[in-house]
C-alpha cells in the first residue's frame, strides 16, 4: 500500500510539473531537486536552483515592465521589487497549489513548513531555475509571464488565502509584515493543539488555534482581519 501511495504521489507531482512547464519536462531529477527542502537531509535540495531562479525571475519581470511601463527607473525598480518579493512568490505558489508537492522532513512539516511564505517563495524560484536549466530562457519566460499575469496586472491583492491577505493588508497600510508566534502547544503528538498569535506593529494582535501550526497561523490571520481589517 505504501509503495502504491508513493507511486500515486510521484505521478501527481509529474503531472503538476508538466502542467507548470507547459510541456513535457526533461531531467525530472532536477525538477524534484527544486521541490526538496533541506530538512529532508538530502544533499540535493532547492537552494542552488533558488539562487538561479531568483535571478531569472528578476530578468523576466524587468524586461516585462520595460515593455509595459514608461515610468522612470525609480518607479520601475519599486514595482520590480514588489513583484519578485517573497510575498508575491508565495502567493503565486499558493495559486498553483504548490505546497503538497514540496518534500520536507517531519519536523518542518509539523512546524507548518508547507504554508511558510519563505519556503513557498524559495521553492517557486527554484522551479523557475529548474525550468531555465532544462528548457531554456524563452519557455521559462513564458511560464513566468503566465504565472505572474495577475500580479503584473495589479490583481495580486485579490488573493483569498488569509495569510497572503493579511500580508497585503499590512503592506497597503504601510505597516511592517505580520509577526507570528507560537503561544502554546498542548496535547500528545498524535493529537497536538497549537495556539498562535499574530501581530502587526502599531495595530494590534489576534490569537487562534488549530491542529497544526499551519492551521493555527491561518486561523490567527483570519481573526486579525476580522478584528482590524
**Quick one: cell of 172?**
497597503
Rounded to whole angstroms, the Cα distance separating 30 from 132 reads 11
Is 125 catalytic? The answer is yes
Is 150 catalytic? The answer is no
**Quick one: cell of 162?**
488569509
- Assign residue 128 a region: left if phi > 0, alpha if psi is -120 to 50, beta otherwise? alpha
Rounded to whole angstroms, the Cα distance separating 60 from 81 reads 13
Per DSSP, the residues of 137-187 read HHHHHHHHHHHTHHHHTT-GGG---HHHHHHHHHHHTT-PPPEEEEEEEES
In sequence order, what E strands does the chain have? 179-186, 193-200, 204-210
Q: Which residues contact 215 (CB under 8 A, 6 or more apart)?
A: 194
Pick the catalytic residue from 125, 217, 222, 223.
125
Q: Is 196 exposed, middle or buried (0-12, 13-18, 19+ CB in 10 A)?
A: buried
Pick the catalytic residue from 54, 117, 122, 217.
54
Which sequence positions are flagged as catalytic? 54, 125
Amino acid at each position: 500500500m505504501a509503495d502504491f501511495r508513493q507511486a500515486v504521489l510521484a505521478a501527481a507531482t509529474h503531472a503538476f510539473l508538466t502542467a507548470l512547464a507547459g510541456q513535457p519536462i526533461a531531467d525530472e531529477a532536477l525538477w524534484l531537486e527544486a521541490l526538496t527542502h533541506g530538512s529532508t537531509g538530502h544533499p540535493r535540495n532547492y537552494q542552488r536552483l533558488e539562487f538561479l531562479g531568483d535571478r531569472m525571475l528578476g530578468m523576466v519581470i524587468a524586461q516585462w515592465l520595460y515593455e509595459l511601463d514608461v515610468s522612470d527607473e525609480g518607479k520601475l525598480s519599486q514595482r520590480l521589487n514588489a513583484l519578485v518579493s517573497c510575498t508575491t512568490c508565495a502567493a503565486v505558489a499558493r495559486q498553483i497549489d504548490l505546497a503538497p508537492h514540496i518534500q520536507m522532513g517531519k519536523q518542518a512539516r509539523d512546524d507548518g513548513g508547507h504554508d511558510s511564505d519563505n519556503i513557498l517563495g524559495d521553492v517557486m524560484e527554484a522551479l523557475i531555475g529548474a525550468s531555465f536549466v532544462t528548457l531554456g530562457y524563452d519557455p521559462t519566460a513564458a511560464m513566468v509571464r503566465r504565472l505572474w499575469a495577475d500580479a503584473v496586472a495589479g490583481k495580486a491583492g485579490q488573493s483569498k488565502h488569509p495569510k497572503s491577505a493579511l500580508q497585503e493588508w499590512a503592506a497597503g497600510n504601510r505597516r511592517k509584515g505580520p509577526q507570528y508566534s507560537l503561544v502554546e502547544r498542548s496535547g500528545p503528538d498524535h493529537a497536538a493543539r497549537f495556539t498562535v498569535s499574530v501581530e502587526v506593529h502599531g495595530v494590534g494582535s489576534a490569537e487562534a488555534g488549530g491542529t497544526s501550526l499551519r492551521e493555527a497561523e491561518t486561523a490567527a490571520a483570519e481573526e486579525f482581519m476580522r478584528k482590524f481589517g
